[in-house]
Structure 1
Amino acid sequence: MDNNATFTRVEDSGNVWLAQTTAQDFELTDHGITPTVLDSEAEVGQAMLNELFETAKAKDGDINIALLGGRGAQALHRLLGELAKSSDHDALLGRLNVFTQDALAPMGMGNCFSFVRDFERILGPDFFLKIKSFTPMQTDTADLEAGLIAYLNKLEALGGLDIFFIGHGPEANQASHLAYIKPFSGAKSNHVAGVIPISSSILEHHISKFKAGGSAVNEQDEAECCAAQSILTLGPAAILQAKKVVQSVVDADTAPAKVQTYANVLNTRLSSIREEALQQLNANPGLWIRLHPNTKSFVLPNLGL
């Protein structure tokens, strides 16, 4: 940690969190969630793109976004890829600083089960040529924490996230994760990123998700993916400090546990007693989204709302 004094290393039951030393405790004000139910995945993608357009109109200069991996934002990514094939939106694309939000590690950056490869596949080469910058989490470095700090330094130097595109992942006991903030991982409101021990169930889910999503896979990359030991993830502070959070949940047909786990986040009111609220958030990190005052949650009818 000598290379940067902005972050303090906190370890909790094998989970390593990087805390902002200058950040004060966030007010744990429960803003709730008001989901927007749309008819199709394509409509969800368009709604997410519209949020980007709104941000572009509302501010000058760079726009910093965190891409969502997996199914949740694939429709958005296809739309962005189409935009990049013409010159109509080059001015907007040229303002984008694009970040990833989680990653399996250690794993080669060229592995077909890497979110980066999936982003390249769907967004297409024109998108990456036209945006201002792309900053993935480094998964092939000997010092994962140092690589994560370099990533965070760039994000902080650019002023933080304008839009955190986020999903909703089911966990055991009808809990859920955001990015890859796992239940009982000890995440606190000033933790901006972390390195989380991995479980075999996560690896199985990750691999099946990529196969179902149409990625071209091979046995060598799958073996390397199965050997991953950690998850790099943005933490609660990155969510709470983002100017806008845009959630999408589109795959309840193939991940039916999301019906109940999303309902739990929607219907669980956080305690007004801070310590009790922190216990709720630790047990079910999907609840962190309720603390952001500027959240959109786009979902499909298959959530049963």
Structure 2
Amino acid sequence: MNPQNSQFTRDEDNNNVWLSKKNNQKFNLTDYGAIPTVLSSEAEVGQAMLNELCSTAASKEGDINIALLGGRGAQELHRLLGELAKSTEQDELLARLNVFTQDALAPLSMNNGFSFVRDFERILGDAFFKKIKSFTPMRTDTKDLESALIEYLTKLEELGGLDIFFIGHGPEENQASHLAYIKPFSGAKSHHIAGIIPISNSILEHHISKFKAGGSLVNENDEKECRSAEYILTLGPAAILQAKKIVQSVVDADSAPAKIRTYANVLNTSLSSDKDEALQQLNANPGLWIRLHSNTKSFVLPNLGL
């Protein structure tokens, strides 16, 4: 990839490649904390997420740009959107949606059952994709992943950035966590809008197990190809901080019990007022980035033990 004629610059940190906008905004280290809303069921979480989308639609005119959350966290939201798409009830809203994915394993065929795209299509359904304004996935079937990621980011930038970043919470070792797939010690900084980072066996196992648990349609060949993936494509801290609204959901602590401690760590860690120290904390535990956004909703279930 040759970034000379691009609006993005490239940083590399221990084999992690991060892209930044050349006109990057200044980083403001303000800790807004995190106040979770505990709901009684996944269905209620899905409805709460849909309510946030409808609230955004009511508060602005024109397009609505969203990043879909993969895996278990947003499946109830996706089922609700899929049902609405089968009727005409929300056709006006759906027609305003520019939909983006937020992370992906690569290289991977776009039709692989372990890709988020296939899972979105399975749950959201054909009617949803026919009615929305656009769908832009991260390309995982090309040798030049950086150029493909820049094309994705360019479209997101041209459309004005994300109105809603639907995001989850992934457990990591040492009671740390990841957002999107911003991994601990991957060198992600506040100006990094997206990255390509080396994959680990633990991530592959977690990815495969959560797709199987979520009912994805997969086969032996899909799993073999998935296990040969080498990289993770992910939106970065700048995409989180610059989104107009963050809507987080954490619903699977029963099947991923490590989230009980790692989510509590995000809530209870004292972020340093010293910028350099705070950046070290964020690098060690990227789940903390969510606390630096002033407009965040975090919907969780009682199984987090809060």
Listed as ranges, the matches of 1:270-285 within 5 Å are: 270-285=271-286
- The alpha carbon displacement at 1:269 in A equals 2.1
- The alpha carbon displacement at 1:74 in A equals 0.2
Percent identity over the alignment is 79
Whether the 8 Å CA contact 1:32–1:269 is kept in 2: the answer is no
- The alpha carbon displacement at 1:4 in A equals 3.8
Instruction: Give the 3-state SS of the residue equivalent to 2:239 in structure 1.
Output: helix
For 1:52, the equivalent position in structure 2 comes to 53
Whether the 8 Å CA contact 2:3–2:9 is kept in 1: the answer is no
User: Is 1:72 the counterpart of 2:50 in the alignment?
Assistant: no
Instruction: Give the 3-state SS of the residue equivalent to 1:298 in structure 2.
Output: strand
- The alpha carbon displacement at 1:162 in A equals 0.1
- The alpha carbon displacement at 1:21 in A equals 1.5
For 1:129, the equivalent position in structure 2 comes to 130
- The residue identity in structure 2 corresponding to 1:49 is L
Instruction: Give the 3-state SS of the residue equivalent to 1:49 in structure 2.
Output: helix
Listed as ranges, the matches of 1:150-189 within 5 Å are: 150-189=151-190
Instruction: Give the 3-state SS of the residue equivalent to 2:98 in structure 1.
Output: strand
RMSD of aligned residue pairs (Cα, Å): 0.7
Instruction: Give the 3-state SS of the residue equivalent to 1:103 in structure 2.
Output: strand
- The residue identity in structure 2 corresponding to 1:67 is L
User: Is 1:192 the counterpart of 2:189 in the alignment?
Assistant: no
Quote the Cα distance in structure 2 between the aligned partners of 1:260 and 1:239: 23
- The alpha carbon displacement at 1:20 in A equals 1.4
For 1:143, the equivalent position in structure 2 comes to 144
The ranges of structure 1 where at least 4 consecutive aligned residues each deviate by more than 6 angstroms after the TM superposition are none
- The alpha carbon displacement at 1:19 in A equals 1.2
Instruction: Give the 3-state SS of the residue equivalent to 1:165 in structure 2.
Output: strand
- The residue identity in structure 2 corresponding to 1:262 is Y
Quote the Cα distance in structure 1 between the aligned partners of 2:124 and 2:184: 31
For 2:234, the equivalent position in structure 1 comes to 233
Deviations 1:256-286 (A, max 9, x none): 0000000000011211100000000000000
Listed as ranges, the matches of 1:1-305 within 5 Å are: 1-2=2-3, 4-305=5-306
Quote the Cα distance in structure 2 between the aligned partners of 1:28 and 1:145: 29
Quote the Cα distance in structure 1 between the aligned partners of 2:89 and 2:299: 26
Whether the 8 Å CA contact 1:195–1:233 is kept in 2: the answer is yes
Q: What TM-score comes out, normalization by structure 1 length?
A: 0.99
Instruction: Give the 3-state SS of the residue equivalent to 2:74 in structure 1.
Output: helix
Whether the 8 Å CA contact 1:39–1:300 is kept in 2: the answer is yes
Instruction: Give the 3-state SS of the residue equivalent to 2:73 in structure 1.
Output: helix
Quote the Cα distance in structure 2 between the aligned partners of 1:3 and 1:253: 47
- The alpha carbon displacement at 1:295 in A equals 0.1
Quote the Cα distance in structure 2 between the aligned partners of 1:254 and 1:273: 37
Give the number of equivalent residue pairs.
Answer: 305
Deviations 1:192-214 (A, max 9, x none): 00001000111011111111111
Quote the Cα distance in structure 1 between the aligned partners of 2:116 and 2:173: 23
